[in-house]
Structure formats: C-alpha cells, structure tokens
Amino acid sequence: MDVPDDLVQEINDLRRRHKAIILSHYYQRPEIQDIADFVGDSLELSRQAAGTNAEVIVFCGVHFMAESAAILSPEKVVVLPDLRATCPMADMVDAAFLRNRKTELDEPVVVSYVNTTADVKAESDICCTSANAVRVIQSIPRDRQILFVPDRNLGLYAAKQTGRELVLWPGFCCVHDELEPGDVFKARRKHPEALVLVHPECRPEVIELADKVAGTSGMLRFVQESDAREFIVGTEEGLIYQMSKKCPGKKFYLLSNDLICNAMKLTTLTKVRDALKNLEPKVTVPERVRQRALRALERMLAI
Ligand code: 13P
Ligand code: SF4
C-alpha cells in the first residue's frame, strides 16, 4: 500500500506533541506496524503499557488490549483508534456467567486468557497469554482445581503440556479455530520443504500435525533462529509481514487464505491520526473493576 508521507508526518508531529507512544500487535496492517514505536505479542504489549513514560498510549490492536493498558497505567490516556475493534473470543465469557460457574466448582483458581474484558479479569485469579499459559498453570499448586477461560484450544494445549486437568470454557478464536488438518496436508503437499508453525489457539488435531507450536513472538523467534528456509504459518496473516522484514531471505506461506482477523484490520493510519488529534476514543475502566483486574494481570506479569 502507498502510504502518504504527509499523513505519516502528521502522525509523527501529533505523537511528539502529545508525548504519545503507538503500540501495535503483529496482526495489524503493515503500515500500522511500520509507524508503531513498538510491535509485539499480547504479553510484550502489556509489559510496554505497564512500563512506558509516555502520557498517551495509542493502542493499535483490539479493545481488551487497550483495556489492559488502562488497567496497568490508569494515569495515562489510552485511545483505541476504532472502538468497534473487539475480539469475538473475549465476548464469549462474561462476568456474571463466570461467577455462576465458579459456584458450581470447588473454589477453583480462575486463569483467564488476556483475551477477556476487564470485568472478567476482575473475577479471575491470574491472567495468561499464549506465551506464558503453560508457566502460569505450572505456578498453581497441584491440589487446586483450575478453571481456564475462555479459549478451549489454548486450555487443552496447556493441559497437555503440564499434565494438569483443567476445567475448560467453550470459547474459541474464530480465526484459528477454522483451521483443519486438511489445510495442513494441503499446504505440506504444496511446500514440501517448509516447516509448519501453528498458534495454540488452533484445534488439537491441527496442533498435532505441526513442527512448532507457539504464540506470535515465539513463532517470530523460531523463524529467525531456524536453519530452515521456508515456513507455513498457521496464524493471522499480519505476522508474515514482520517475519519477512526480519528474515528477507526466507519464504513464508500462510496456512490458509482465511487467516484474517477483521477486528485487527479496523485500524488504519487515518484513524490513528484522528485518535492522536482528538485523544478519542478513550478506553477507561471503572476504578473498582480496575483494582481487581490489576491483581490478575500483575500476578501474570510477576511470572
Ligand atoms: P499472541 O500475540 O499473544 O500470540 O496473541 C494472539 C492473538 O490472537 C491476540 O488476539
Ligand atoms: Fe480475537 Fe482471534 Fe482476532 Fe486474536 S485473532 S483478536 S483471538 S478473534
């Protein structure tokens, strides 16, 4: 895409004037990744949001990510360029249902994927991301029952890796959960030399066929360190832009053409410019909810 220089200049001027930082997830459009101060996975973005000295955070990602920034840095202005950018998986669990489910179980430790609303985090004991789900589960005493929300596939993967039994919530990512074993067989036939990488939000029968299972940053590290020259990538297409930038001599193929997260693609340069100009739309979290959600996020960040 041709990026107008004057628009980038305007974003840079506004960013300086407002002492703002632009954070981008790997699933954002290439031109957004290029203007960001930091591009990362969910865990790294939380760490950046918690540690930055900036006064304004422009979050190029989805709503739960901006909410996490507002929970971790309440004194900062957090803006999300398009408020409609919400993760469908995060909407598959709400606080009232979660409270109800807890009463049916044996005082469970609630582990919530960061892909949840602040209200759900407030009902949780500890958060996790795809990068640390296994370590988070391992940190919980073996005699405690664990309720894992909302991603069933990530829960099944973490259960297998840790040998722990988890009570799972029936949520899923509508992008990764669409992948089927047939997609892997087809891609391998087309690119027999390539290694297959998949995200743990994929179904177990897809994960079983992969050469490497990792979250976005783990995949990026893997392709940089591997001696292989070709990779079939089983996650949202935005990550391939960063892979190609970091490894210009290697080849990357998307595992399926449908690996596009519409919510992530709502952010555009024009919306980033407008968000910086107006410092809107802001994302805030009521203090009572924030205090409780913060505990769950801080426990995760301490691991
Ligand atoms: P990670 O970048 O943490 O792997 O998360 C993937 C994702 O689906 C974010 O919504
Ligand atoms: Fe949600 Fe999946 Fe999109 Fe991530 S890729 S924001 S989990 S729908």
The model's pLDDT over 279-301, given as tens digits with 9 standing for 90+, comes to: 999 999 999 999 999 999 999 99
Alpha-carbon distance of 272 to 265, in angstroms, equals 12
CA 140 to chain centre: 23
Does the beta carbon of 263 sit less than 6 angstroms from any atom of ligand 2? yes
Distance 166 CA to ligand 2 centre (A): 22
Tens of pLDDT, residue by residue over 164-219, are: 999 999 999 999 999 999 999 999 999 999 999 999 999 999 999 999 999 999 99
The structural architecture, per CATH, of the domain 176-254 is 3-Layer(aba) Sandwich (3.40)
Same fold, 5-86+264-284 and 176-254: yes
Distance 24 CA to ligand 2 centre (A): 14
Do the beta carbons of residue 238 and residue 27 sit within 8 Å? yes
CA 156 to chain centre: 18
The residue whose CA has the least distance to atom 3 of ligand 2 is: 261
Beta strand 166-168 pairing with 146-149: parallel
Q: Closest ligand to 41 CA? A: 1
Alpha-carbon distance of 153 to 92, in angstroms, equals 14
Distance 55 CA to ligand 2 centre (A): 27
Query: Residue ranges per domain, the chain?
Result: 5-86+264-284, 90-172, 176-254
* Best mutation site among 91, 115, 174, 175 for ligand 1 pocket (most ligand atoms within 8 Å of CB): 115
Is domain 90-172 given the CATH code 3.30.420.300 in the classification?
no
pTM to 2 decimals? 0.96
Dihedral sign for Cα atoms in the order 152, 302, 116, 206? negative
Q: Is the pLDDT score of 1 beyond 80?
A: no
Residue 234's alpha-carbon distances to 77, 202, 215, 254, 265, in angstroms, are: 34, 8, 10, 6, 18
Token pair belonging to 70: 């507002």
Q: Is the pLDDT score of 2 beyond 90?
A: no
Q: What class is the 5-86+264-284 domain? A: alpha beta
Does the beta carbon of 85 sit less than 6 angstroms from any atom of ligand 2? no
Distance 216 CA to ligand 1 centre (A): 6
In the chain, alpha helices (H)? 5-17, 30-35, 42-51, 63-72, 95-104, 118-122, 133-138, 152-162, 181-190, 204-207, 216-225, 238-246, 269-278, 287-301
Task: Give the H/E segment covering residue 251.
Answer: strand 251-254
